[in-house]
């Protein structure tokens, strides 16, 4: 049996330092998995490898039966061309810690840019859908504002809408609320919560354990580039966790 997203024995080194060490992780279709772990554990690197923003040094990542970043031909693995890589990324949404909205475009233009420019969908249809997506994150009234005129929480909600406009198979979130003032965290978490129930597949890096317990199905705990423990998210309590390292981490963040 194979999962929707299969990360198998993935390794990654930066200048000789091992950052990901033989990482195995699966996410089923429609599942929400949270990735936990102390700073420097390699969580961001793992997400970036899935999205091919970093090239893996070993192992493989398969999404919905398709190997990411490489293709097999005549018994050898060949790295994909930039264009083929870009095509695979169309199906993977990514939300960054620092939002990364296009600063020179309005909110609406941010959402519309890729579906029109990359997928070549009709502009009118995409604009209509963009307004719909912005409504879902409660920001349609800001459609003509520029990112600099929005709060961090609003920017992050636009970034979520922008990703969804591509109808991705998989959504990756890298600490989507870590750059936000405390009072803005819940509006972004709420937006992600709404997504979880739509049945989209999500892999979320977060330090919000309460949110993780409520929204996700499973957790994966990483440390020093290795997966230390995986389990059901309702076990995300100091007593519930099995591994001593996980328990130690949870006792610090809870």
Residues in contact with other proteins by CB under 8 A are 51, 53, 82-83, 86-87, 89-94, 96, 98-106, 113-114, 117-119, 146-153, 155, 159, 162-163, 166, 179-181, 184
Nearer to ligand ADP, 39 or 73 (CB): 39
Distance in Å, CB of 245 to other proteins, minimum: 28
Q: Which residue has the tokens 């939300």?
A: 95
Q: Identify residues 172-191 at the interface with ligand ADP (CB under 6 A).
A: none
Distance in Å, CB of 165 to ligand ADP, minimum: 26
Binding flags for ligand ADP, 27-56, as an x/- string (CB under 6 A): ----------x-xxxxxxx-----------
Binder of residue 42, out of ligand ADP, Mg ion, other proteins, none (CB less than 5 to 8 A by kind): ligand ADP
Q: Which residue has the tokens 């993935």?
A: 10
Distance in Å, CB of 111 to other proteins, minimum: 10
Q: What kind and span of H or E run contains 153?
A: helix 152-164
Distance in Å, CB of 14 to other proteins, minimum: 16
Long-range contacts of 244-247 (CB under 8 A, 24+ apart): 245/221, 246/36, 246/221
Nearer to other proteins, 14 or 238 (CB): 14
Nearer to other proteins, 173 or 211 (CB): 173
Distance in Å, CB of 27 to ligand ADP, minimum: 18
Residue 10 near ligand ADP by CB under 6 A:
no
Pairing state between β 5-14 and 58-63: antiparallel
Buried b (16+ CB within 10 A) or exposed e, 94-111: bbbbebebeeeebbbbbb
- Partners of residue 67 on adjacent β-strands: 62
Asked whether 88 and 52 are in contact (CB, 8 A), the reply is yes
Distance in Å, CB of 224 to Mg ion, minimum: 14
Nearer to other proteins, 86 or 232 (CB): 86
Distance CA 85, CA 19 (A): 23
Distance CA 159, CA 148 (A): 13
Other CB atoms within 10 A of residue 126 CB:
20
Distance CA 82, CA 84 (A): 6
Contact residues toward ligand ADP (CB under 6 A) are: 14, 19, 37, 39-45
């Amino acid at each position: 049996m194979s999962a929707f997203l299969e990360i198998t024995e993935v390794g990654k080194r930066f200048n000789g330092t091992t950052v990901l060490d033989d990482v195995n992780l699966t996410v089923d279709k429609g599942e929400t998995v949270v990735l936990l772990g102390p700073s420097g554990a390699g969580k961001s690197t793992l997400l970036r490898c899935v999205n091919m923003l970093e090239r893996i040094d070993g192992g493989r990542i398969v999404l919905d039966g398709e190997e990411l970043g490489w293709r097999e031909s005549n018994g050898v693995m060949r790295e994909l061309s930039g264009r083929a890589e870009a095509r695979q990324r169309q199906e993977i949404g990514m939300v960054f810690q620092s939002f990364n909205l296009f600063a020179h475009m309005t909110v609406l233009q941010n959402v519309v840019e890729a579906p029109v420019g990359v997928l070549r969908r009709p502009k009118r249809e995409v604009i209509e859908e963009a307004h719909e997506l912005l409504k879902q994150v409660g920001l349609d009234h800001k459609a003509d504002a520029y990112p600099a005129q929005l709060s961090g929480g609003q920017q992050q909600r636009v970034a979520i809408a922008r990703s969804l406009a591509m109808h991705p198979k998989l959504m990756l979130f890298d600490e989507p609320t870590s750059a936000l003032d405390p009072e803005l965290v819940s509006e972004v978490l709420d937006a992600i919560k709404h997504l979880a129930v739509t049945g989209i597949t999500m892999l979320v890096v977060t330090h919000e354990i309460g949110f993780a317990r409520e929204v996700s199905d499973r957790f994966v705990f990483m440390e020093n580039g290795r997966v230390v423990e995986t389990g059901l998210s309702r076990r995300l309590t100091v007593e519930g966790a099995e591994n001593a390292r996980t328990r130690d981490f949870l006792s610090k963040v809870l």
